[in-house]
Amino acid sequence: MTKGVIPKADLQKNCLNYTSYYYETSKTYPEFHGVTASSFDGAGLSHGVIQFNFISTTLQPIWKDLINNYPIQCYQAFDQNDTFYNTWKNNILTMTTSQLISWGLSIGEPTNLHKCVEPWNSYFRQLGIMKESIDRQMVGVQPYFSSTEIWKSKFGVWSRRGYALLFDIAVQSGSISTSTQDLILSDIAKIDPKQTREQIETAKLIIIANRRADAVGSTYQQSYRDRKLAIAKGSGYVYGGFVDTTPYDLLLEPAFDTDVVAAPAPAPPPPPQVPTLQPEFILINHNVVGI
């Protein structure tokens, strides 16, 4: 556990590792870049570190760039299998979103749409963990960090844990509606300012988690709430397992240098004590002669 500010690159890496491992892929680097799921959630196909997908049109640009810029590496990822490589390439370059969603469903394991049938699953893994793919996925992650920082400023969040919560909202939801933002700000304004800075931050994060969960449909609302509150509180049970932000250094510590609160200046030393001068009494003995 690191006190104070850590480099921004480390903070973002920790947020990505946390969200990807616990919620998106159940894998760590570099394998989480190669995880692919079929259409268990209606997204058609989800792939990579934060499960870019067809329905949100976040996956197509990544794969198109790889096809256009690194065709040899992509061909090698498919073990130079012309049939599967050309099918993938042609589908990505020519199909509409709805057609891609249907194709993604068609190559899913019939009894477990969290996976694709072989050899697709293996080819997508090899494709995803290529250096060129990892680099392109990381470019695709940056807009989610941009949203994170906009919300961080808007809600007055200062901690690394808060940054992680907002990033996870960006990954899972993509947005926070204006009406939900207004509710969040209204609730934040009611927090007792007499609490410690850490208590106020935790209260804010719980408000953000609950208000964003309130806007989710009933089917996924509870799991969404569990996922967000686990970050807001630092730990919890999500999807049947225990999750914890601490091993990822996502603590109630400042996210950026601008979030550091300077320690109060020490009180000035008291003025030096000036001794009180007492009047001197001089005893004069008069020796009177002749009395």
Instruction: State pLDDT tens for residues 273-288.
Output: 766 555 554 444 444 4
DSSP 269: P
Q: Is the per-residue pLDDT at 165 higher than 80?
A: yes
Alpha helices in the chain (DSSP H): 8-19, 60-69, 71-77, 82-94, 97-106, 120-128, 131-155, 160-173, 178-188, 197-214, 218-233
Q: Give the pLDDT of residue 291.
A: 40
DSSP 276: P
pLDDT averaged over every residue in the chain: 93
Exposed e or buried b per residue across 77-115, where buried means at least 16 C-beta atoms within 10 angstroms of its C-beta: bbeeeeeebeebbeebeeeeeeebbebbbebbbeeebeb
What mean pLDDT do residues 125-140 have? 98
Alpha-carbon dihedral angle through residues 38, 39, 40, 43, given to the nearest 10 degrees: 120
Q: Give the pLDDT of residue 282.
A: 43
Residue type at position 8: K
Radius of gyration (C-alpha) of the chain in whole angstroms: 30
Alpha helices in 52-130 (DSSP H): 60-69, 71-77, 82-94, 97-106, 120-128
Q: Is the per-residue pLDDT at 272 higher than 90?
A: no
Q: Give the pLDDT of residue 109.
A: 97
Q: Give the pLDDT of residue 270.
A: 72
Q: Give the pLDDT of residue 145.
A: 98
Confidence band of 262 (pLDDT split at 50, 70, 90): confident
8-58 pLDDT, tens digit per residue, is 999 999 999 999 999 999 999 999 999 999 999 999 999 999 999 999 999
Q: What percent of the chain has pLDDT over 70?
A: 91
221-260 pLDDT, tens digit per residue, is 999 999 999 999 999 999 999 999 999 999 999 999 999 9
If one compares 287 and 182, the residue with the highest pLDDT of the two is: 182
Strands 112-116, 235-238: pairing is: unpaired
Domain boundaries, the chain: 1-24+142-255, 31-128
Q: Give the pLDDT of residue 269.
A: 72
Q: Is the per-residue pLDDT at 290 higher than 50?
A: no
| pTM given for the model | 0.89
Q: Give the pLDDT of residue 131.
A: 98
Q: Give the pLDDT of residue 56.
A: 97
Q: Which two tokens stand for residue 208?
A: 């953000």
Q: Give the pLDDT of residue 49.
A: 98
Q: Which two tokens stand for residue 136?
A: 């392109």
For 4, other C-beta atoms within 10 Å of its C-beta total: 8
Angle in degrees, CA 22, 26, 31, rounded to 5: 130
Q: Give the pLDDT of residue 142.
A: 98
Sign of CA dihedral 221, 224, 230, 236: positive
Q: What percent of the chain has pLDDT over 90?
A: 89
